[in-house]
Each structure stands twice: as C-alpha cells, then as structure tokens.
Structure 1
C-alpha cells in the first residue's frame, strides 16, 4: 500500500489545477461579524407519552483545589485531562427539566435564578431566557418539584426582585429537607460559612413564597408519573425521582453524582459540597448499581448538556455514556 503525505497531496492538487487550466480560487473572507454567543440552550426528548424539555441555566467555573476532599488537585486534573477537559478550573453546568405530561407542566429544580445573570456576568441564570426560547412561560408551570434546598436548585423560585417566579405553580419540596432547614435548633448548631448561609437562604425563599410550599415524602408519587426516591448524603433530605410513562422510565438524579468525569468514574471521591460525604458515597453506589442493573437512563443536573446518559460498570466504578443528540423528538 502506498501512503501519500499531506504535503504531496497538496502539491499534487496544485499541479492538477495548473495542468487542467482550472482557476485557483482565493480564500473567502468572513462576510459577517462573529456571533459571540451560543444558541439557546434547550433540548427535547420523549419518555413514553411525556415530553421532557431540558432547559440550560448555564454554568459556573469553580476552582479545582478543594472541590474533591479525598483526592489531590493533581488527581482531579488528571481525570479532567483524560476526559479532554480544561484544567484551568472546573466548569459546573446547571440543568433543570420541564415535563409535559399532556395535562400539566412540571418543572424539576430551578437553577440559580434571574439574579445570577448579573452576578455571573451572564454565564448562569439563563433558565428564564432559555425557557422562553423553548416556547414555554413561567406562568404556565403547574408544579415545581424541588430535589433539595441548595442555591442552584431553589434560587430560581424567586425573580431578581424576590417575587415568586412561578405564580401559578404549586411548589413541592422534600419533607425531610423542609424539616431540617426550617429547624431553629439545627440552624443554631450549623457551622459558620456555607451551611449557615444555606439555612438563611432557605428561610429567605420560604418567606418570600409566603410559606406556600407542599411537602412530600420519599417513596410517594409526587406528580403524575413522578415518584420520589430518597437519596440522602449530598444534603439531609436530598431526593431524586423516577419519571415513568408507558414502558419507559428515566432517573432524575439531582446531585447523586456531581460532575460525571469525576464522581461517576470515581464514585469514592467526596465532593466538598456533600453535607455527609460518606453517606453520599453509599447512596451514589447504591443508585448507580441500580441504574446499571435496570439499564435505566439518568438525567443529571450537573452532567454535560443535554445531560441524559446511560451508565455502565468500569474498572474503578462506573462510566457515563451520553445519549446522542437526536434531530427528532
């Protein structure tokens, strides 16, 4: 077999053009300015008779140092490098979903909220704009279902001026989360810093909603086709969901596993944002064993957009296989 180098191929092409009398075409010039921004972030797929709209809230970059508490920064950077990710920082996406059951619109988690647009210089807080681009409106949402009370999942319950963002929706929250974050005794024992701030933030949001939230228990159907699953560790009452219609189901995991190239492929790694990292690891392994055994796809809040994947076993734990983008629903 004869191999032709790139230089020989280009030289041969030029010679062919000269011999044939074909004109040499000068390089074209860009006729329009660079767009400088991404397309609206939404994507749709079906689960049985339900239509799921994945709505991006954008992303925020975090320092690598300290993000994983039981692995060194060099180990984290090696994992990112092997996945062809930048090691300048850790990019964390935020991905709520809207489920159209045919009779109701159900939002699962909310993103960082409108106020984050200015705070992050537009990199996050994109949910409302992308929801509109997807042809949906906040006032048409019938129910908002919350997985846990961390800011990237609940701050979007309010507008930038602290008004209810979903005026016609019932707000459904895990009973264990509500009990914990509204307990004055727990708040008095909270360590200073992030956890103390989460207590204050939760109370700010519940107050702005006038206390109008509906608690639900794990193991129960929260909305048509949506069953709550207790997945504690990341937070005290962290809850995931199984969305089912007809013969199809998808596991909506919240923060059972954060960035997949770190915490799916290394399930023993502990995230600094896990409230009980040992319990979070046990939950992660239990849930991901189930996903593998049941061949159940997972919708990951912090997975790469559009954040839908299959899971298989790997040497050190698991491996996520992102579902290919489809041009049809």
Structure 2
C-alpha cells in the first residue's frame, strides 16, 4: 500500500525531530565492573557451636593429568575432570580454613597459606576481617598436619607469630616426624620456622585421638603425612568432620579413593584411611568440611559404585 503526501510529511517531521529527542535523553554511564569476588566466608551451626569456613584462595596446578595422580594415566584423570565440567589443562586447588566458636573458645583448624605461597592464595586475612574474626580472638589452633599450605598462616611475612593468644595443639606423631631427623631438610626447615615464634609452653603435643575441647576430638587419619589428624565436632545433636587432606579435590580422589595423590607420603595408608573414613561418614550421614573442596566446602559423602560422591550442603542465608 502506497503512502499519501500527508503520511510522508509526518514521517519526515518525525525523522527531523529524532536527533532533538536523543539529545534530550540523559546519557547513562555503564556500571563499573568490580573486578573482585564477594567476601569468602560461610557460617553454619553444629548444635550450639557456630562454625565459620573462611576461604584462603587457591593454587592453580597445571596439567593435572601428568604426575598429580601417581597410579592413574593422563586419559583417566582428564576424563574424571571432564565428567565434572572442569578444565583438563589445569586444576584449581582451593584452601578453606575452619573456625569453631563454642561460646567459650574460638578454635581455628589449620592456618592456610598466610599469603606466603601462591599469588592466588592468602585471601584468608581479608575474609576473616569480613567475617568479624581477628587473629587475637583465636584461643586454640588445632593442626591437621604440617604441610606449608596448612601452617604458613601461623606467621606474618616478617616471621612474627600471627595469633598472639592462641595455644597450638599438634598431633604428637606429626611433631615427632617433622622435628626429628627423618623429615626432608627443606620442608622441615619451613615447619620449624612456622612454629618457632611461638613459646614452647604454648605448643601442646597430643595423641591423634585426643579431645582438644569439649565435644571436639581428633580422628587419626594417617597416611597423607605420618601424624595427619582430622577432627570430629559434636554439640547437641550436631556433628561435623573437619577433614584436613584425607582427600584433595573431590573430583580426583573422593570419586576415586584408590587414586594416590603426589602429596601423600604413604599412599597405601592414605587410601586405607580414606576408604575407612568415608565409609563411616556415608553410613552416618555426617557433614564434612573439606580443606581442598570447592568453597564453601561443606557437604556429605555417599557411596557411588566403587567410590564416593560429594553432596554439597544447601546454602542458606540463615545461621
């Protein structure tokens, strides 16, 4: 259908008016990109106890199919990563630190990297501040084992004690190994440097199954290191296992408990420990905090064929 003269004139007038209308519309600037993540802490209750998991960043391991798992070939490792929609060219290994507030004490489990290791780690301090936790409030530090990503946060970059009021609780077998003459020289020197600023009377050596506070008891989980210890938290009807390094990333050796990670010092014992602990946790439906699990690292394990599956706890805005 053709346009008559009247319609053509009206269209032309509208076209001429358009620039004026555009000029009258105020410009809207784009919202600047933040370029950083939200604070990384998460809280939950275990009975009367309040648990806070604080993220300490991550370390990116290149080519996880090569050398990360001692007894699985590259194709199998990469297939496991692809199954969980993870990249096969690298694996991001997360660090998660757990605080338990009993109402009488604030107990920290491991101390993270301290910002002394990977450039992508060391976020613990900002996240503690965001969570309202100051180092001087910590009354006890229960250590799972002495690898650098678990004890480096004991000290500042200048080598001073980071937690001035804390008693350090360490597994006796772990202490004996790293402070003795069997440990490799370089990591042993690192360990001694982390504990050195703390007075000897504030370092308490205990058995791996000792009670470290009411309702909080060690679980011997040796293998990853000679004295590796996980911790059970019980309050009222609530329970929790603070895992340490019984597994690394759940895609790797939670789904495949027979896979031996390069960091396991006694791989066969570590595998036995892993299977025994997860059989128990799956049967009892006990929630777990995984040190190297994706943040907020809280969930359950269940049997899945020859291995185990991770079921994350549903996030909630309420504590």
How far apart are the structure 2 equivalents of 1:173 and 1:222? 10
Equivalent residues in 2 for 1:215-226, closer than 5 Å: 215-226=205-216
Normalising by structure 2, report the TM-score: 0.88
TM superposition shift of 1:280: 0.2
How far apart are the structure 2 equivalents of 1:293 and 1:30? 56
Match of 2:115 in 1: 114
8 A contact 2:154–2:195 mirrored in 1: no
| 3-state SS of 2:196 partner | helix
How far apart are the structure 1 equivalents of 2:193 and 2:287? 35
Task: Please list every run of at least 4 consecutive aligned residues from structure 1 whose deviation after the TM superposition is greater than 3 angstroms.
Answer: none
Which one of 152, 163, 167 corresponds to residue 170 of structure 1?
167
Which one of 159, 162, 166 corresponds to residue 156 of structure 2?
159
| 3-state SS of 1:56 partner | strand
Match of 2:92 in 1: 91
TM superposition shift of 1:67: 0.7
Match of 2:244 in 1: 254
Equivalent residues in 2 for 1:165-314, closer than 5 Å: 165-184=162-181, 186-187=182-183, 190=184, 196-211=185-200, 212-314=202-304
How far apart are the structure 2 equivalents of 1:269 and 1:124? 26
| 3-state SS of 2:107 partner | strand
Match of 1:134 in 2: 131
| 3-state SS of 1:153 partner | helix
Change (3 A) 1:247 1:114: same
Structure 1: tracts of 5 or more residues without a match: 1-27, 191-195
TM superposition shift of 1:29: 7.1
How far apart are the structure 2 equivalents of 1:126 and 1:67? 25
Structure 2: tracts of 5 or more residues without a match: 1-26
How far apart are the structure 1 equivalents of 2:29 and 2:271? 51
Change (3 A) 1:200 1:294: same
TM superposition shift of 1:144: 0.8
Match of 2:313 in 1: 323
TM superposition shift of 1:208: 2.5
Counting matched residue pairs gives: 290
How far apart are the structure 1 equivalents of 2:169 and 2:224? 19
Deviates more, 1:92-101 or 1:315-324: 315-324
| 3-state SS of 2:111 partner | coil
TM superposition shift of 1:138: 0.5
How far apart are the structure 2 equivalents of 1:323 and 1:35? 28
What's the Cα RMSD here? Answer: 1.4
Match of 1:41 in 2: 40
TM superposition shift of 1:114: 3.2
The answer to which structure has the higher strand fraction is 2
Give a deviation string over 1:167-189, Cα, whole Å, max 9, x none: 011111111100111112x13xx
